[in-house]
Structure 1
Amino acid sequence: MTPPKRQRRHPRKQEPPPQRPPEPAEGEGDDDDRPEPERLFVIGGGDGTEDGGADGARGDLDLVTLVVAHAEPESSAPPEQAAVLRLCVAPLSVAEISAYLALPFSVVSVLLTDMLTAGLVQARAPIVRQALPDRSILEAVMHGLQKL
């Protein structure tokens, strides 16, 4: 036997259905909330190089490169640079920075390259698993210390 359904003492008020914003005209915009390409171009500072050359330092940055801030954000700094400097007090990967700022990796890599050349941040490769000591060596040291 199933218990009877309970009824509320104070019924909920019926909320009107949410109104949809007016549809944009053809070619006026997309449905998603991505930043406009012009804004991304401005954040990236153009093509990311002052002399218009090849990628250069940007080739050193990948998704797992760790970034650490070396300076405090100045009041005249662009908001994206200030956000990166505040985020990178502790080491963060480029992928994490990209996710926190909700910007594409390509824009973040250009932004970080500019910050690297200005000396505001430092980038370093993550610790490679093979560079760690062998487990058997660590166990031998631990057993030797336990015998003392």
Structure 2
Amino acid sequence: MSRPVDRESPDRLYTITSGRSRGGDEVFDAVTLVVAECDPTPGMQSEHSRILRMCQRPMAVVEVSARLGLPVNVVRILLTDLLDAGRITARHPTAVNSAVSPFASPDVLEKVLVALQKL
């Protein structure tokens, strides 16, 4: 009988990161959006292939981590490999500037609150 694979066993994590313990910290934070720029190729590491398949649409690093069942730090290393190879692009979500956005004004928020209370 075979044992179930422990996705966070130190030996497995060491293997899939090629022994690296750091990488991508300056490029990838938890909410960085990742998009695949190509399809997986034969012989590619299975985790890299899975990332490319799941990131056909923008996906946050933390979501990639959750779907792979791997720690965020390990996923950052894998994403760095793919970014360096030109297989993904990464971008940070744009912040909403409250001075420009009419939806962030206190008057609009108060009107929404009043309307919700009337329901």
* TM-score when normalising by structure 1: 0.60
What runs of 5+ residues in structure 1 fail to find an aligned partner? 1-32, 50-54, 137-148
Number of aligned pairs?
Answer: 98
Q: Provide, for residues 17-64 of structure 1, a one-character-per-residue CA deviation record: whole Å limited to 9, x for no partner.
A: xxxxxxxxxxxxxxxx54310110111122167xxxxx5x43221100
Structure 2: gaps spanning 5 or more residues = 1-5, 104-119
Partner of 1:92: 59
Q: Does 1:71 align with 2:38?
A: yes
What is the CA-CA distance between 1:75 and the residue it aligns to?
Answer: 1.4
| Greater per-residue helix proportion | 2
Instruction: Say yes or no: does 1:42 pair with 2:9.
Output: no
Q: Deviations over 1:70-113 (max 9, x none)?
A: 01000111110000000000000000000000000010000001
Cα offset, 1:117, TM superposition: 0.4
Give the share of equivalent positions with the same residue, in percent. 40
Any runs of at least 4 consecutive aligned residues in structure 1 with deviations exceeding 4 A, and if so which? none
* Greater length-normalized contact order (CA 8 Å, ≥ 6 residues apart): 2
